[in-house]
Amino acid sequence: MADTLLSTRSLKKRFGAVQATDDLSLEVARGELHALIGPNGAGKTTALNQLSGELAPDSGEIYFEGRPITHLRVHRRARMGLARSYQITSVFDHLTVRENLALAIQAHNGHNFRFWRRAGADPLIRGAIDPAMARVGLEHRSRMPAANLSHGERRQLDVGMALAGNPKMLLLDEPYAGMGPGGAVELTKLIRRLKNEVTILLVEHDMGAVFSLADRITVLVYGQAIASGTPEEIRCNPAVRQAYLGDEDNNEVEDAC
């Protein structure tokens, strides 16, 4: 593999009787869009939470840019350039779109123990807001409280906030969940655009999106990676077809071969 940005080695996490992550070794190359798929309960979000630092693995190691980050806390990982967005959109409802992004920008530039000057007047923040809004196509919503945005726009804002610190890598947790058809098209456009700027690990249920966007795919079943490869390889992989057989939502996996 050319240049690995993020990798895990034998990651394990158990909740009671459930082995949610079972000996997971993952490699995400710099610049690629890597998708993590699997049936319900396969442990996708659990894996993601360990990567972002919200869950501590029982054993195993995580490396980011070759450095072990297994024991670093969430905010340290974020500062290193490992950003995430949430499955349940997680924006600040009482703040406007502008202010949401300003807060995200603030995390990565300048000194936050400033007690006197208006945050809104800080040129470090002001200068970065418009590009950040343009990046996720929310310029026209600038002054609107996040609570009033549509579901799709909130998702765009969520991603925009994750991007505000110019991360090296973005963890996207089921961005298509609960999205209407119109929103999904917008989101696909957005992700396609982001693909050229940042390495992405996409955890997703929507197979259509995954197969059209991903450079590489890893399939997770019962916490184990049963296959990893290009979309074509995954489509024709018998083990994957076995895992998805009978799962009607996912005809796509079967149709192609």
Partner 1 sequence: MCGKNDLQKELVQTIDPLVGGGKRSVSRRTLAIAGGALLLLALPMLTAMLDEPYLVTLFSRILIYALAAVSLDLMLGFGGMVSLGHAAFFGVGAYVVCILSAHGFEGTPVLTRPFTVGGHESALVLWPLAVLLAAMAAAVIGALSLRTSGMHFIMITLAFAQMIYYFFVSLEAYGGDDGMSLFTRNTMPGIDLADDRQFYYLCLAALAAFLFFAHRLVNSRFGMVIRGCKENERRMKSLGFPTFRYRLVCFVIAGAGAGLAGALITNQTEYVSPGLMHWTRSGEILVMVLLGGMGTLFGPVLGAAALLLMEELLSIYTEHWMVYLGPFLILVVLFAKRGIYGWIAGGNGNHG
Residues that bind partner 1 in the complex, under the rule CB under 8 A: 52, 54, 73-76, 78-79, 83-84, 86, 90-96, 99, 102-104, 106-108, 110-122, 125, 145, 161-162, 164-165
Q: Decide whether 164 or 240 has the Cβ nearer to partner 1.
A: 164
Indicate left, alpha or beta for 12 from its phi (over 0: left) and psi (-120 to 50: alpha): beta
Closest of 159, 160, 153 to residue 179, by C-alpha: 153
Strand pairing category for 199-203 and 33-37: parallel
Closest CB 187 distance from partner 1, rounded Å: 20
Q: Decide whether 54 or 215 has the Cβ nearer to partner 1.
A: 54
Closest of 196, 179, 178 to residue 187, by C-alpha: 179
Closest CB 176 distance from partner 1, rounded Å: 20
Given a contact cutoff of 8 angstroms between Cβ atoms, the answer to whether 120 and 126 are in contact is yes
The single-letter DSSP state of residue 63 is: E
Q: Decide whether 5 or 243 has the Cβ nearer to partner 1.
A: 5
Closest CB 76 distance from partner 1, rounded Å: 8
Give the C-alpha separation, 129 to 97, whole Å.
10
Closest CB 34 distance from partner 1, rounded Å: 19
Given a contact cutoff of 8 angstroms between Cβ atoms, the answer to whether 218 and 230 are in contact is no
To which residue do tokens 């998702």 refer?
155
Q: Decide whether 113 or 255 has the Cβ nearer to partner 1.
A: 113
Closest CB 199 distance from partner 1, rounded Å: 17
Q: Decide whether 74 or 257 has the Cβ nearer to partner 1.
A: 74
Give the C-alpha separation, 178 to 44, whole Å.
17
